[in-house]
């Protein structure tokens, strides 16, 4: 019995001084990459309209030509990023009088750009210059003339109610860019 009494404290002492158990080996991490979020647009959805980003001259349309065609003096010009840039022509009071958007890319997207600006189903047909097709609309807020050919679209919006003014600018832009 004395032995049993001696053995019990030794077992208790051994249990208190035993080395701590080691952590189990690290488990390998799964090799599946995390899910990625993309901002790709749906097929046939036009890209967002460009925004003015800097003051500057339009490389394919002179301010004097805009003033003659649109009937208002140009007080300032801004351009967007991109090649070619979109051009924004302002009146002397700072309000937008005319904008020009040139899109180049897939033919379906060019058509979507035109259809967004002047829905072909509800606008008047636009067929100038020859070989270009789209729509034109006039309203109290102004006019739009939008046409596409292949993968290129040209959209002109004016604060004037007559589509002829936007059409003249569109024809000039297409000629100037050699489209």
Question: Percent of the chain at pLDDT above 90?
Answer: 71
- Asked if the structure places residue 1 within a domain, the reply is no
Percent of the chain with pLDDT over 70: 75
Q: With respect to residue 137, please indicate whether it lies within any of the assigned structural domains.
A: yes
Indicate which CATH number applies to the domain containing 154.
3.40.1000.10
Strand order in the sheet with 96-104: 54-55, 76-79, 87-90, 96-104, 152-158, 142-149, 133-139, 124-126
* Residue-level pLDDT at 43: 58
pLDDT of residue 9: 39
Decide if 8 is inside a domain. no
Looking at the domain assignment, is residue 4 inside a domain? no
| 139 lies in some domain | yes
Collapse the DSSP code of 92 into the 3-class scheme (helix H, G, I; strand E, B; otherwise coil) and give the result: coil
How far apart (Å, rounded) are the C-alpha atoms in residues 123 and 137? 6
- pTM over 0.85, yes/no: no
E strands in the chain: 54-55, 76-79, 87-90, 96-104, 124-126, 133-139, 142-149, 152-158
Q: Does 7 map to a domain?
A: no
DSSP 137-168: EEETTEEEEEEEETTEEEEEEESSS-HHHHHH
pLDDT for 105: 95
152 lies in some domain: yes
Which range of residues forms the domain containing residue 61? 54-176
Tell me how many domains the chain contains: 1
Query: What digits encode the pLDDT tens for the residues 11-69?
Result: 443 444 444 445 444 454 444 333 333 334 555 688 899 999 999 999 999 999 999 99
């Amino acid at each position: 019995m004395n032995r049993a009494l001696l053995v019990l404290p030794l077992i208790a002492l051994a249990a208190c001084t035993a080395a701590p158990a080691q952590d189990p080996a690290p488990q390998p991490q799964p090799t599946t990459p995390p899910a990625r979020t993309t901002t790709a647009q749906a097929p046939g959805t036009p890209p967002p309209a460009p925004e003015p980003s800097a003051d500057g001259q339009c490389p394919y349309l002179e301010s004097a030509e805009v003033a003659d065609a649109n009937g208002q003096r140009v007080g300032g010009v801004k351009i967007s990023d991109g090649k070619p840039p979109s051009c924004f022509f302002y009146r002397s009071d700072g309000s937008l009088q005319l904008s020009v958007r040139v899109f180049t890319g897939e033919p379906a997207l060019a058509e979507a750009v035109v259809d967004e600006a002047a829905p072909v189903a509800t606008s008047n047909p636009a067929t100038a210059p020859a070989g270009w097709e789209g729509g034109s609309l006039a309203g109290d807020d102004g006019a739009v003339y939008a046409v596409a050919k292949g993968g290129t679209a040209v959209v002109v919006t004016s604060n004037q109610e007559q589509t002829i003014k936007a059409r003249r600018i569109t024809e000039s832009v297409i000629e100037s860019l050699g489209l």
